[in-house]
Amino acid sequence: MVPGQAVTAADNRVSSFSLDGAPVRGRIVRMGAEAIDPILRRHEYPRSVAMLLGEALALAALIGALLKVNGRLVVQAQGEGPITLLVAEHAAGALRGYARLADGAADQLAQAHRLPPVSLLGGGTLVMTLDQGPDTTPYQGVVPLDGETLAACAENYFRVSEQTDTGIRLAVGEVATGDAPVHWRAGGVLMQRIAGDAARGDTIEDWSRARHLFNTLTDSELVDPALADDRLLYRLFHEEGVRMSDASALADLCTCNEQRLTAVMRQFPKAELRDLVEQDGFLHARCQFCSRDYLIAPSEVGA
């Protein structure tokens, strides 16, 4: 990356990077109006809820991009606070997310800005699930919600459970670009230390230097639509030399479909399903994630 080189900001993608002068590899994600904004606008969340959900989506994209297999990476939390359920999912570039609020929570949070996860979820844990398909056993990692930010909670998980030194920064904000309306943006960086070996020797000192540079990263840089991801990484790590590769597109794309919904509904008691049939003769169902409505014939679910 050459300083001063003309670049065009590329949104809605997650890219890998590595440092030439330090044993560090990582991912950077940037999302704009096409990917993150519709997910956060769809349910008119209070600002603090939208920010936490946006951070969870950025985290799901960063961790999902680390995986070497196809599958879904789900970040989920349930609690007894203003948010009773938080779900963010990444599957082969498709993103979807949803936050369910307790009664009265929207009014309670109307004036709130960014809040710690524990304040919104009421304690508990964050569960990260890797689902590789119907013939495999999902893998789950549990993250205590004891950090001031979602990024801090995730860093603690990698340090304790995976025993990998990890730095994570997540940011979400509303910005205006030119004549376009104000829209949500999200960004995040995840970097990890490569363990030492006979060739590298001890990597702790190099990691400490890279971590010091990483700590200068600001939220405003992560959501700045005029600052491309390669320029952002160059700004952070030009002293070490940074290389980018393997960009993958991200999109607001729900994975719901009628076949999957009917399969779930077939497990309900038949009497309960018959009670749910509307006057038009169909069962009405709505996806919590994308708000798409489905009309299911009772015969399709055995009712």
CB distance 57 to 31 below 8 Å: yes
Q: Considering the domain 13-252 in this protein, what is its CATH number?
A: 3.55.30.10
Domain segments of the chain: what residues?
13-252, 258-301
Model pLDDT, residue 2: 31
This model's pTM is above 0.85: yes
Model pLDDT, residue 68: 63
The b-or-e profile of 19-57 (16+ CB within 10 A means b, else e) is beebbbbbbbbbbbbebbbebbebbebbbbbbbbbbbbb
Model pLDDT, residue 200: 64
Helix 47-66 vs helix 150-160: crossing angle, to nearest 10: 30
What are the backbone angles phi and psi of residue 267, rounded to the nearest 5°? Answer: -85, -10
CB distance 69 to 92 below 8 Å: no
231-282 confidence digits (pLDDT tens): 999 999 998 899 998 789 999 998 888 888 888 888 888 888 888 888 888 8
- CATH fold of 258-301 reads CBS domain Like (3.90.1280)
Residue 53, SS3? helix
CB distance 88 to 56 below 8 Å: yes
Model pLDDT, residue 86: 95
Give every CB contact of residue 298 below 8 A, 6+ residues apart in sequence. 273, 274, 277, 281, 282, 283
User: Within the chain, which residues score under 70 in pLDDT?
Assistant: 1-9, 68-69, 196-202
